[in-house]
Chains A and B, each alone.
Chain A
Amino acid sequence: MVIPRACVLAAGLVATVIPGVAPQAPQGAGFQVIVNSANPVSALTQGDIERLFLKQRTSWDGGLAVEPVDQPARSAVREAFSEAALGRSPRAVIVYWQRQIFSGRDVPPRELESDDAVVEYVRTHAGAVGYVSPGGAVSGVKSVEIRR
């Protein structure tokens, strides 16, 4: 049986416009975003955070290079951050980075093993941005408000 090309492409067109699951709005709980205390930024939107951590935005307004740092893939704080701030599951974020890596485009942010390591990195790197568990000690860095 010959299947007309137009039918094949039309089937693809119809099926691809079925919308997916909408990203969740930032919840503000489950993580807190931190930047270096010298960074003038005091608030970020979910879109800002997504672009920073997916390396689609690579410099702060003053021109300083952005250095995002991530948490371990199976940590609770990363799961909360991925779902709420990046609008996708940790698994989907890993797949996103696989596509970036193997198309030769980019590599994921550095991954540090704990909240303390993230705080220390952000404290000592002027362009760094990270996230830590809510209520965790963030001395020496600045916690950023997340705006909708």
Chain B
Amino acid sequence: MNTRAEKVLAPGHRLAVTTLLVTLAAAAHAAHPAAAQSTDGRLSVHGFLTQAYGRTDGHQVLGITSEGTSDYRVAALQFRFDADPENAFVLQFSHERLGRSPLSEVEPEVDLDWVFYERRFGEHTVVRVGKVRTPLGLFNEIRDVGTLLALYRAPVSVYGEQVYASETVNGAMVGRRIPLGTWALDVDAFYGSWDFVQYDLATYAHVDGGYGGQVWVNTPIDGLRAGAGHLRYTVGNLVNAPADAEDDHVAWIASLEGNFTRLSVRSELFHASFGETDLGYIGKAERYYVQAVVNVTDWLGVVGQAEFEDLRLDVSGPFGFSFDGNENRDLAVGVRYAPAPNLAVKLEGHAFRGYRIEDGALPYGAPRARAKYALLSVSTSF
């Protein structure tokens, strides 16, 4: 049984959220992205909204309860000003609710998602400075855009909807396209700082000088690409650790996508190592998924997805333990009805088995919890 009370919004926050949602709903009647531009084409306003209802058959997973919740949505409003062909400013606000998830208690109702200045150099090079979306993997940059996703969310095994996840970097990124005949490389690199909430849901860890990059190989087959990404950073302000303690994290991601007219298949492998002997723990995580979408028609697709999270964790000290095995698994099937590119209705069912439940602590080594949950969602964008 869930005992966590619904979060009550302060009047100011409620007004901000209502304004954002009403603006998005009112604008969503525009059937295509180009409709949201000023008469001189320099200012563009775009947005997206996904509203969902979710319910589990028992354990609470990803904020979804056995009673069901419709306090489940994600939305964003983006403003882009192209001062000239070389210079642009981009600002995006977002709002997210995750039902009864503890994260909904600590994350702001309306967040400044991105704010950056963009400078283009020639045809193929771009530099962004500010708070920029981390270019990593297939989905990080578009992870919340329901009209572009096969299911409600990007695969949670790799992209997270939880602690220890950051979607943006305060710093800079540089991107370059390198045409190679009928092939092309897209190369992105980034550097900067970011914060993320830790398992106590109160302490924000801080990263300074984190860096990484992503390379995409675009093949001559339209829609087929492969990628590799890297992320390296040192975390400070760790919970339950000395004030000067730091933890080095290194992560790799390999991606493969085939996006064709009637079939889309994606698979990614994420590998991360973290922890220090001095800190009393060392860990390695491997997370991977495969997702397939069969588009029966232009507007109807059937989705299948399998996600796995493996963990090796060695914790020393009087309460030490070791864990090595499958941490979480999520198998999903869904139907995606999209009568227009800016409107999608999705019904999906998931069979979850693992430790990522939210209605009670489940120690590693205990039998994994099982839960089935379903999500019905409506997404729009303009």
Contacts and interface: CB of A to CB of B under 8 A. Distances in A.
Contacts of B78: 101-102, 104
B308 A8 contact: yes
B116 interface: yes
B341 A94 contact: yes
A104 B116 contact: yes
A39 to B, nearest CB: 16
Bin the interface of chain A by size: 35 or more
A98 B33 contact: yes
B37 A99 contact: no
A124 B85 CA distance: 18
B16 interface: no
Given A16-B267, A104-B92, A9 B290 contact: yes
B223 A20 contact: yes
Given A97-B33, A107-B44, A17 B224 contact: yes
B341 A5 contact: no
B6 interface: no
Interface in B283-310: 286, 288-290, 292, 298, 306, 308, 310
Contacts, number: 150
A108 B48 contact: no
B257 interface: yes
A8 B306 CA distance: 8
A13 B367 CA distance: 32
Interface string B88-130: 0010100000000000000000000010101010010010100
A18 B267 contact: no
Interface string A84-126: 0001110110110111011111011111000000000000000
Contacts of A9: 256, 267, 269, 288, 290
Given A91-B341, A103-B142, A107-B44, A12 B85 contact: no
A19 interface: yes
Contact of A13 (B148, B223, B267, B292): B267
Given A23-B222, A98-B33, A107-B37, A15 B141 contact: no
B164 interface: no
A18 B263 contact: yes
Contact of B256 (A13, A22, A102): A13
Contact of B258 (A17, A23, A103, A108): A17
Contacts of B224: 16-17, 19-20
B52 interface: no
Contacts of B326: 2
Contacts of B222: 20, 22-23, 87-88
Contact of A107 (B33, B120, B126, B259): B33
A146 interface: no
A65 interface: yes
Q: Is the interface of B mostly helix, strand, loop or mixed?
A: strand
Given A9-B269, A20-B223, A110 B37 contact: yes
Contacts of B265: 12, 15-16, 18
B192 to A, nearest CB: 15
A11 B288 CA distance: 12
B89 to A, nearest CB: 11
A70 B33 CA distance: 12
A58 interface: yes
Nearest to B45: A107
Given A5-B308, A12-B256, A101 B37 contact: no
Contacts of B298: 89, 91
Contacts of B156: none
Contact of A98 (B31, B145, B260, B292): B145
B260 A21 contact: yes
A104 B132 contact: yes
Given A13-B256, A16-B267, A102-B46, 10 more contacts: A8-B288, A12-B265, A17-B221, A20-B223, A20-B224, A21-B261, A58-B120, A65-B84, A104-B114, A111-B37
The 3 residue pairs across chains A and B that have the minimum distance between CB atoms = A12-B267, A20-B260, A16-B258
5 contacts: A88-B222, A94-B33, A102-B381, A103-B135, A103-B142
